[in-house]
Amino acid sequence: MVKKLLQVLKGEAVSPPPVWLMRQAGRYLPEYRALRAKAPDFIRFCLTPDVAAEVTLQPVLRFDLDAAILFADILLIPHALGQKVWFAEGEGPRLEPVRDMAGLDALTYSAAMLAPVMETIKRVRADLPERAALIGFAGAPWTVATYMIEGMGGTDHGTTKALAEKDPAFFDRLMDILVESTSAYLIAQANAGAEALQIFESWAGSVPDALWGRAVLEPTRRVVEAVKAKHPNMPVIGFPRLKGALASDYAKATGVNGVGIDQMTDITALQMPRGIAVQGNLSPELLLEGGETMRAEAKRLVKAMTGKPFIFNLGHGVMQPTPPEHVAELVAAIRS
Ligand code: 1CP
């Protein structure tokens, strides 16, 4: 059986479109919460293959989705670089910030620390339904750098931007470290059995125009190039969140096969280069709301994208209070 997601990432239009959702595994699912409740440490949870494989498969089995996304986190890279990363209950991620060359000198990427992720991929592939493709992923260098420098999540990334300007040697070296470790990590995921890879640039929205090439396009292009040097046919999806309007230029500059589009951009109006897929972009708030409003918008999107290489997804992740039944209704509406 040809997997629809992989067909679309080759540039084909498929009707109805394949569908998966960012953050499709996670706290909105009771079966996720049940497993998570038994694991006090989130990093350990991600690095326990039987648990991570089960959580990866949960939404695919429940909703018959066209893709599984590896259950892991973008902050496993700082962890494997030796930076201290922890998840404070109810507060999101915390890291011991790295802001100078001495901090960078202390970082060394350990592939062995992420070996459990490769084991998770093998287990998921063995149990994956026929229609579903397994997507591996990593954070893009800029997005991961914001966490490494700020020491937490946030939206303005003032320290990161200031350092990029005032200490370009530091910033560019951090980008180099992230390009190398992220490339090695994604290549290992492909070796283990990932069938497509997504690069999450979740904080593309905070990047000033003057930094766009240096912090986003060039580091991402280098990661894509390194992956394709080892796996020439591996499809790669980039997700420059809140910069959806730049999707065409982003695709040309980075070499990705598909671009994820947030809900602020009109996906139906984008003029993409031939053969480049788009993915998105239903508002997660509409999924939370459910009902006829959600179904009507989903059908409008599917209709408007007919004839184009399109993967149905949200514009960002599933929100935690979302009733799981809304996902089932959404999938049914897309396929009806
Ligand atoms: O306790 C918990 O259960 C923690 C919640 C959680 C989950 C379910 C975190 C902490 N990470 C994850 C899994 C995860 N993270 C996945 C796999 C699940 C899936 O998609 O089905 C993926 C792809 C990610 C990627 C990720 N982590 C991103 C990029 C995507 C996005 O949402 O923009 C980012 C920014 C992170 C950092 C992170 N990890 C966790 C949280 C709460 C956050 C965001 C914190 C912030 O707002 O800064």
Q: Domain residues of the chain, as ranges?
A: 4-335
Nearest Cα to 67, choosing from 325, 332, 336, 331?
A: 331
Is 66 a catalytic site residue?
Answer: no
Q: Residue 48 in contact with residue 39, Cβ under 8 Å?
A: yes
Note the pLDDT of residue 260. Answer: 98
pLDDT in tens, 230-269: 999 999 999 999 999 999 999 999 999 999 999 999 999 9
Closest residue (by CA) to atom 35 of ligand 1?
202
Is 73 a catalytic site residue?
Answer: yes
| CA end-to-end distance (rounded Å), the chain | 21
In ligand 1, the atom with minimum distance to the C-alpha of 139 is 29
Closest residue (by CA) to atom 47 of ligand 1?
153
**Which among 66, 73, 109, 222 is annotated as catalytic?**
73
Residue 321, Ramachandran bin (φ over 0: left; ψ between -120 and 50: alpha; else beta): alpha
For residue 134, report the distance from its CA to the centre of ligand 1, in Å.
18
Q: Could you give phi then psi for residue 310, rounded to 5 degrees?
A: -135, 130
Is 147 a catalytic site residue?
Answer: yes
Q: Residue 43 in contact with residue 68, Cβ under 8 Å?
A: no
For every residue of the chain, which 3-state class applies, written as one string? Answer: CCCHHHHHHCCCCCCCCCECCCCCCCCCCHHHHHHHCCCCCHHHHHCCHHHHHHHHHHHHHHHCCCEEECCCCCCHHHHHCCCCEEEECCCEEEECCCCCHHHHHCCCCCHHHHHHHHHHHHHHHHHCCCCCEEEEEEECHHHHHHHHHHCECCCCCHHHHHHHHHCHHHHHHHHHHHHHHHHHHHHHHHHHCCCEEEEEECCHHHCCHHHHHHHHHHHHHHHHHHHHHHCCCCCEEEEECCCHHHHHHHHHHHCCCEEEECCCCCHHHCCCCCCCEEEEEECHHHHHHCHHHHHHHHHHHHHHHCCCCEEEEECCCCCCCCCHHHHHHHHHHHHC
20, 63, 73, 313: residue to mutate for ligand 1 pocket, most atoms within 8 A of CB: 73
Is 249 a catalytic site residue?
Answer: no
**Half-sphere exposure (CA, 13 Å, Cβ side) for 224?**
24
Angle among Cα 17, 224, 46 to the nearest 5 degrees reads 75
Nearest Cα to 243, choosing from 228, 233, 229, 253?
A: 253
Is 23 a catalytic site residue?
Answer: yes
35, 74, 134: residue to mutate for ligand 1 pocket, most atoms within 8 A of CB: 74
Range in 69-78, 87-96, 133-142, 227-236 the model is least confident about: 87-96
Peptide bond into 313 cis (omega under 30): no
The token pair that represents 35 in the structure block:
């497993």
Residues contacting ligand 1 via CB (< 6 Å): 22-27, 36, 42, 69, 71, 73-75, 92-93, 137, 153, 200, 202, 317
Average pLDDT, the chain: 97
User: CA–CA separation, 125 vs 192, rounded Å?
Assistant: 9
User: For the domain with range 4-335, which CATH number is right: 3.20.20.210, 3.30.565.10, 3.40.50.10490, 3.40.630.10?
Assistant: 3.20.20.210
Given pLDDT bands bounded at 50, 70 and 90, which one contains residue 182? very high
Given pLDDT bands bounded at 50, 70 and 90, which one contains residue 8? very high
**Which among 28, 32, 147, 185 is annotated as catalytic?**
147
Closest residue (by CA) to atom 9 of ligand 1?
73
In ligand 1, the atom with minimum distance to the C-alpha of 241 is 33
Q: Residue 314 in contact with residue 287, Cβ under 8 Å?
A: yes
Note the pLDDT of residue 3. Answer: 98
Closest residue (by CA) to atom 22 of ligand 1?
73
pLDDT in tens, 19-41: 999 999 999 999 999 999 999 89
For residue 332, report the distance from its CA to the centre of ligand 1, in Å.
26
